[in-house]
Structure 1
Amino acid sequence: MVNSESSSSHDIWTFKDVKKSSVLEYVTPYKICVVVLINEMCALKSKNRESIPTRRILFRADKKPIYRRDFCMLMLKLIQSPDMDFTELVKLLESGKYQIQPELIENFKIKVEELLERDVGCSPDVLTNVERLPHNELNGYELINRSSKIGLFLRRVQLFFEKLSFSQMVAIYKAYQSYILSRKRPARESKDLSDSEDLEETKENRPFRRKSVEEMELSSICADTSLSMRLSPNEASQISELVGAQPPVGLWSRRQAELFMAQQAKHLMEDPKSALPPPELQNKLKDVIRTNPEQAEAHFLSYLNCLRVKEYCGAVDSLFHYFDRKVPSSFEDDAVRCKGLRYAALNLAILQAHFNKKNEALCALTEAITLAHEANDNVCLQHAQAWLYKLQADDRDILIQRSISKCEELNLNYLSSFGLQTLAEYAAKKGDSPSHVFEMLSRSDVINMQYSQMDLLLTSLGMFVALWSMYGRSDLAALAAQQLLHLDPIEKCQTLTHGDSLILAVTCLVNYFANQGEYGIGWALVDHGRQRAPDSKWWLWAENVLYFIESLHKGQWQHAHLAVNQLSTVDKQESLLRLSELLLMKGDRQGALSYSTAVLKEPYSNPVTYIRALHLSAKAHPKGAVTKLACALELANYHYIDYWKALITLEIANIQVDMGLGFQALKLVDKTLLDVLCHGCFFDTSDALFLYAECKVITANSANRFSVIHEAIRILDRAATLAKHVENYCKVKKIVYLQAILCNNVGLTAERNKYAYEFRILDEQYPTTTDSPLHSIQ
């Protein structure tokens, strides 16, 4: 691979192609180390090894092909990569990723230390050998060819080295000292400088004690050279850039920077986990900008990196820097200049919307729309309109429909599909029929499959999960979530599976298994999701909801309260609802009413949240319960939320039982029990079966009382099994207590004793406290 001929015309370099301004940009300490490594490899293969007595070399070189191949791959890596620090270079050589001779690494380290001990004159000794290496390929340097990548690299180094002035040579040597000593600096800085023994140096350590980069000044460079020469301003600035207050950084060529930024941008948009960590990526971008100030794209990548960690000030600053460099100047064509300005305003609006600053986003969006109208730029207008109906609450359906029709005319398929998904979401919250909502999502799926828009396809599946969950079809929601998760490896698509769609799917499954009492599976799913999307805050939501459900079912009130407090950091309304539910279970009706009322006073955003608040408020305040339940039932009917309609109906039936209206309650339970059994969690199903058995006993007449009670006991057995599955032993005790009473009423002595003994065992294992629901049983 190294010996392959290069056909690129820009790889043929001559002396006249070298510009003086770029000399110090190419002859760097890193490239000197790469040249040393090539020299040592050639010396290891050379027949005349006796001419180098100061180094330990292998007299019988190993000629395994894997060593030559891996050395060639290593050199491609080092030549094509940007400058790395010396510690990183040594780690790469010793990592074992490339199989190279151990003697080569040892000789390389020895040579590097030798150059450090010598003076400025060592640099010509190393770099002048570069000129003769490609010429001696028949004399033992068979690894190097003039037209190979190594040969071209060495040629460039030699050409640039020939153009160095003496002052630049001194700057290079000082930078090389700092570059090598940077590996030893952390250990030296960790010592206590106040200790006199640590300040003394022996002769053995004296060669390694150089002035660090922070200690160097321009005057000290002139003093070390023992020459009283006067530097020109250009040369002084070049030297200060290399040995100034900043430590040496990686030098990036334009193509290296473009490749790096393209790769990282792709990772950030598709799979943030595979991108560099935010601090490391930011440091790399600083190096890119320092060595390539004209790379405006580095500022935009910095903007994406700041969005990744919710850094508002850094994101705004990076975005401004990007468009300051990308927007054409005043002498450019007006159309070109206006295009840059309107897209700058559009991106600023997107940034403000990302941080939920709607007023600022609408102002920037208005400016973008005005500039797009002036230039008659329909594409920019459609992108602006897509964000306008996301930010604006009034007439959203009209704006979305207009946007969809216009995008179809302009063949903006991505925006068409996105508009259909947004319209489906709006229609579901508005109260349209599920058939109409899913029909719009199906149209979006057709566009996505037709134009291979896999990210929007995954978003559509995520919306299926959310909609089925809202309508109360838990099994269908879990099925859609599994389909989304299995689509990722099948389609080889990583676009949004590490984003909102994955989070929604895994969170839905966590909630599903938690409600079924499979807490172990739920925790395993949370850990799996956190590994795939570690930067998301919604894993805290899923974790605390799971912890709350488990603690609530087990009667661990303190743990449940802790989960509610942690949940409030990510979802205030959900934490209030869960706290109201907890207080209601503990018997604190007044506290439960206050928290559920606080949710009702919030702006209306989600019908399910409002229905849940009304339901809890009715359970906490029995006097006005019927009115609140009727309102919640009407809202559930309007939005086709069948599951919550069934739960509200069961609560109305429970109130009728308390009022002595057993037959009316039984009719309501018969009407809604099937929906709860099909789509309800084990906790709600157990409550529904308990209420059904209670209604059956109340409405039984004297003729068939024995058979009805016997059937009720059997139903209660099923309810107890479900309660045991979710580990709600407080409810199990309540069910067993009722079974013992029923058996006593009909004279089933053996069964009564069995249930009484079971109640005693449960009460010993899980004693009843004053705040337990069982405490109120008479």
Structure 2
Amino acid sequence: MSKDFVTVDGNVKKIQKENLTSYKVATVILIKVYCNETTKAIVERRDFCLASLKLIQSADMELTALLDMLYEPEYALHRFADQLEVELDILYEKGVDGLLDLFDSLRRLMEPKDHSLSLSALHKNSVHGLYVRRMLIFFEKLAFDQVVTLYNDLKKYVERKINNPENSDISEINKQGDSGPYKAKTIWGGRQAELLVAQQAHALQTDEHKALPSIELQALVQDLLKSTPYNADAHYLSYLNCIRVSDFCGAVDSLYHCFDRLAPLENRSTPEDRSRTFRYAALNLAVLHAQFNHKEIAQYALKEAIKLAQEAGDNVCLQLAHSWVSYLTSEEHKGPLIERSVGKASLLGITHTTGLSLISHAHNYALEAKNPSLVFDILMKSDMLNCQHSMSDLMSITFAEKSALWAYYGKTEMASLCAQLLLLHNTGDKKQHVFNGPPTCQAIVTIANILIELGEYILADIVLTHAKKKFPNSPCNKMWMLSEQLHMFTQLMRQEKWSEAEAIAKSISSLDKLECKLKLAEVCLAKGDFPKGLEYINLIMKDADATSLYKIRAILISSQIMCASSSPGNGSAISTNCIVHLCSALELATRNHLSYYKALVKMHLANIQLLMGLPTLALNMVEEAIPTILGHGGYYDQGKAFMLYGKCLIASASEKSSETRKEAILTGIKTLSKAQALFMKVNAIAKVKSILHLQAVFYNEIDLLLERNRCAFEFRQLSEQYVITSTNLFLY
């Protein structure tokens, strides 16, 4: 969007309309009272600086509200508030002469008292000095009748305070309605309005929780528009606020109003000014529709912006539109467009677009199964550009992208490290430019997910609660909502509450449709509804948006369904089909450099080999894959890996030598105990019961009856405490 807003008269220069009001007169009187006071405590100096800055930047408020603020315990300014009331009463009695004397005394405040080298009471270049000088200029421009009007307004301003001594807040005066003789009204000056809009817009774009709540901000925008109805900035702030709460109608309406105010008149502007406004209006409209996923309508608006930009020869607008075209294009045609976008944006010097294009380029390369070293090399170039131009928002996005890519490649520790670096990047009191947007929320959710995988459910809930408070609005809230729903789903599945888990899985549909289908397939596997589970798997495999990661996960669940549905008669055929499916998943994981899922597929293959009576081959494959699982997996996956490893150790032990067999069984039982401890940490009771059952059987085989009875007793205790059946021992 153009930074040089065009006014309704067609002039490019901004015209700030600002008048001298009774509130501003009271503010300069307070500054005069403070400057004339010779003895001031350090606390008073500090509090006056804070309070006066707030008064200068705020909208006009009633005298009662102004005095209440000064009388607050937060500020040690009671004696200055008393003197302000006295000065206003004197001015009220003296009339217009008192007003003239006031501004004469303000002028003398900035002059040396004794000689030319002595210091003045108010430095003319200080914040207060600049404010007073501006008020002096406004006063000198007033005609005599306007000075009389200002005095009459000041009398009414003081009288409202006298007539409402109990009302200590402007809100109380507002509640009187229109029937009162003097209705309280918020008046925003041009500079105050511009500052407020800039602060709130910056907060919404960089650190949303520091902005006003959406309802309060919208009410504030309405007040601004009452004071300055042709303020395009205020309409753009309303547009950002509507985007924040996903109010499409309000966002479109505010954007139209914004560009209506920017649109120059036919007879007062050049054709270039008109064309510039119209093409950026079309570009912003395309961005709005893209934000709400209206891709087809966004493409129509982009075509209009491109057409206008080509007619005007505006390469910058063309490049911005081209970047959005690549965003809206389908995955298979996105690569060449992004590469062209990177080169052209760099050539034109559009650094922000260049940085974003590099991040998109790396993301697209990862999905196209390019070498990870090439992907991270592109992100390193983005890092260099972001640091050179101090683009904190892109720095955060790069950290989040690295975290996501490491997680995609199966390196959980590196993903956690990048997420923590992002959170560290956005902390600290000395930070001047902090960006707390979707990347920060994603980093917090990543930390919560890792805590969940490690069985730290209480800590994970604390982290998710922090994300809820800090990011209550879309699109960030979808991230922690999805993490929360998946956490609940996992717990319900481990407690064998199938119907509740199915309801949670269906509710995930609004957040992630593919994840919803995967979870529903898991529920069908647990319930034994195998045909329905395979239907969900087929839907995932046919979905155009399904990435390699989703396809591998779907194949793993389908292989589990095949194993669970096999009968003694057709076990060999089922195992062969499972191996074929798992080999295709292994090839997909290898081609896309998904090391963790490559290890998971190998564990499933080892389980099939164990069922087929090939324990030695199964053991070799487990030993090849288990380091990756233990290095990057959660406690639940680690427990399953130890469980399979223990079964393979025992199954591969020689039957000929009883001593060797006994030693192998003891080693296997020890490995199963490790799995049991891990399952207990994540509260997977069904798995714990399965391990106790296995241990009891193996202890019985080597005649360790005491240990066998202990395992049986623990199994019985868990059965009485939890109504949960043991898991299928033939499934990994």
One of 382, 403, 413 as aligned partner of 2:341: 403
For residues 693-772 of structure 1, the aligned pairs below 5 Å read 693-703=646-656, 704-769=660-725
- Change over 3 Å in CA distance of 1:483–1:66 after alignment to 2: closer
Q: What corresponds to 1:132 in structure 2?
A: 101
SS at structure 1 position matched to 2:426:
helix
Asked if structure 2 preserves the Cα contact closer than 8 Å seen for 1:552 and 1:560, the reply is: yes
Quote the residue 1:96 is aligned against. Answer: 73
> Pairwise mapping of residues 289-438 of structure 1 onto structure 2 (< 5 A)?
289-331=225-267, 332-393=269-330, 395-438=333-376
For the residues of structure 1 that align with 2:666 and 2:106, how far apart are their CA atoms? 99
Paired residue secondary structure (1:163) = helix
Please report how far the alpha carbon of residue 249 of structure 1 lies from its aligned counterpart in structure 2 after TM superposition: 3.3
Q: C-alpha distance in 2, partners of 1:127/1:35?
A: 16
The equivalent of 1:53 in structure 2 is: none
* Distance (whole Å) between structure 2 residues aligned to residue 37 and residue 443 of structure 1: 54
Q: Once the 2 structures are TM-superposed, how far is the Cα of residue 354 of structure 1 from its aligned partner?
A: 0.8
**1:322 and 1:677 mapped to 2: Cα distance?**
56
CA deviations on 1:23-49 (whole Å, 9 max, x unpaired) are 9x5445x4576588789999x99xxxx
- Which residue number in structure 2 is paired with residue 773 of structure 1? 727
**Per-residue deviation, 1:765:** 2.8
Q: CA distance change for structure 1 residues 478 and 168 in 2, over 3 Å: closer, same or farther?
A: closer
Q: Which moved more, 1:607-616 or 1:143-152?
A: 143-152
State the 1:370 CA deviation.
1.4
1:471-514 deviation line (CA, Å, top 9, x unaligned): 11111211221222222337955757411221221211211121
Whether the 8 Å CA contact 1:585–1:773 is kept in 2: the answer is no
Aligned residues: 683
Call closer, same or farther: CA 1:129–1:544 in 2, change over 3 Å. same
Cα gap change, 1:69/1:353 in structure 2, threshold over 3 Å: closer, same or farther?
Answer: closer
Q: Which residue of 2 aligns with 1:82?
A: 59
> Cα distance 1:615–1:491, how it changes in 2: closer, same or farther (>3 A)?
farther
TM norm structure 2: 0.81
Q: Which moved more, 1:248-257 or 1:423-432?
A: 248-257
Question: Which residue does the alignment assign to 1:284?
Answer: 220
Identity among equivalent positions (%) equals 33
Residue in structure 2 matched with residue 14 of structure 1 by the alignment = none
Report if aligned partners of 2:403, 2:419 keep a CA contact under 8 Å in 1.
yes
Q: 1:86·1:183 contact (CA, 8 Å) conserved in 2?
A: no
| 1:607 corresponds to | 548
1:456/1:63 CA distance change after superposition, 3 Å:
closer
**Change over 3 Å in CA distance of 1:525–1:63 after alignment to 2:** closer
Identify the residue that residue 466 of structure 2 maps to in structure 1: 528
Return the alpha-carbon distance in structure 1 between the equivalents of residues 166 and 102 of structure 2: 32
The whole-number CA distance in structure 2 between the counterparts of 1:662 and 1:375 is 73
Task: Letter of the 2:607 partner, please give it.
Answer: N
The residue identity in structure 2 corresponding to 1:646 is A
TM-score (structure 1 length as normaliser): 0.77
Cα 1:75–1:699 change in 2 (3 A) is closer
Distance 1:251 1:709, change over 3 A: same
Q: 1:458·1:496 contact (CA, 8 Å) conserved in 2?
A: no
Distance in 2 between the 1:717 and 1:417 partners? 50
CA drift of 1:99 comes to 1.2
* Equivalent position amino acid for 1:92 in 2: M
Counterpart AA for 2:351: N
Correspondence for 2:623 among 662, 670, 680: 670
Whole-Å separation in 2 of the counterparts to 1:627 and 1:765? 41
Shift of 1:181: 7.6
The within-5 A match list for 1:47-62 is none
Query: Is 1:580 equivalent to 2:521 in the alignment?
Result: yes
Distance 1:185 1:673 in 2: 73
Q: Are residues 573 and 447 of structure 1, via their aligned partners in 2, closer, same or farther at CA, if it must alter by over 3 Å?
A: same
Following superposition, the deviation at residue 463 of structure 1 comes to: 0.9
Tell whether the 8 Å contact from 1:345 to 1:367 is kept in structure 2 after alignment: yes
2:145 aligned residue: 163
Which is further off, 169-178 or 543-552? 169-178
For the 8 Å contact 2:610–2:618, the answer to whether it is kept is yes
Q: Deviations over 1:399-446 (max 9, x none)?
A: 111122222322333322222211111111122121222222122222
> What's the offset of the Cα at 1:447?
2.2
AA of the residue aligned to 2:437: G
Flag structure 2 segments of 5+ consecutive residues without an equivalent.
1-16, 114-119, 564-573
AA aligned to 2:603 is: L
Structure 2 SS opposite 1:773: coil
8 Å CA contact 2:287, 2:298 repeated in 1: yes
State whether residues 86 and 182 of structure 1, in contact with CA within 8 Å, keep that contact through their aligned partners in structure 2.
no
- What amino acid maps onto 1:760 in structure 2? R
Change (3 A) 1:135 1:444: closer
Corresponding position of 1:238:
none
Match of 1:449 in 2: 387
* Alignment-mate amino acid for residue 412 of structure 1: I
CA distance in structure 2 between the partners assigned to 1:144 and 1:150 by the alignment: 13
For each residue in 1:34-93, what CA deviation from the matched residue of structure 2 results, as whole angstroms up to 9, or x when unmatched?
588789999x99xxxxxxxxxxxxxxx997675577557645643453213566434422
Q: Distance in 2 between matches of 1:189 and 1:289?
A: 19
Amino acid of the structure 2 residue aligned with 1:614: I
Query: What is the identity, as a one-letter code, of the residue corresponding to 1:644?
Result: Y
Contact 1:300 1:319 in 2 (8 A): yes
Q: Deviations over 1:144-196 (max 9, x none)?
A: 98986568748956985942599998888778877888997999999xxxxxx
SS in 1 for 2:266: coil
Task: Tell me how far apart the structure 2 counterparts of residues 407 and 265 of structure 1 sit (CA, whole Å).
Answer: 26
Q: Are the structure 2 counterparts of residues 490 and 274 from structure 1 closer, same or farther at C-alpha, using a change threshold of 3 Å?
A: closer
What RMSD over aligned residues (CA atoms) do the two structures have, in Å? 4.2
Q: Alpha-carbon deviation of 1:728?
A: 1.3
1:269 counterpart letter in structure 2: Q
| Match of residue 194 from structure 2 | 258
Shift of 1:308: 1.6
Given that residues 577 and 596 in structure 1 are in contact (C-alpha distance below 8 angstroms), is that contact kept between their aligned partners in structure 2? yes
Distance 1:327 1:751, change over 3 A: same
Please tell me whether the aligned partners of residues 63 and 157 of structure 2 are also in contact (alpha carbons under 8 angstroms).
no
**1:15 aligned partner:** none
Q: Which has the higher contact order (CA 8 A, sep 6+)?
A: 2
| Letter of the structure 2 residue corresponding to residue 773 of structure 1 | T
Structure 1 position 214 matched with structure 2 position 190: no
- Where does residue 4 of structure 2 map in the other structure? none
Q: How does 1:677-696 map to 2 (within 5 A)?
A: 677-696=630-649
Q: Kindly indicate whether the alpha-carbon contact (under 8 Å) linking 1:513 and 1:521 is maintained by their aligned counterparts in 2.
A: yes
Q: Contact between 2:62 and 2:170, CA under 8 Å: does it hold in 1?
A: no
Supply the AA of the counterpart residue of 1:499: G
Question: Do 2:106 and 2:132's aligned partners in 1 also have CA atoms closer than 8 Å?
Answer: no
Note if contact 1:510-1:546 (Cα within 8 Å) is conserved in structure 2.
Answer: no
- The structure-2 alpha-carbon separation of the partners of 1:767 and 1:136, relative to structure 1 and needing over 3 Å to count, comes to closer
Q: Distance in 2 between matches of 1:415 and 1:506?
A: 26
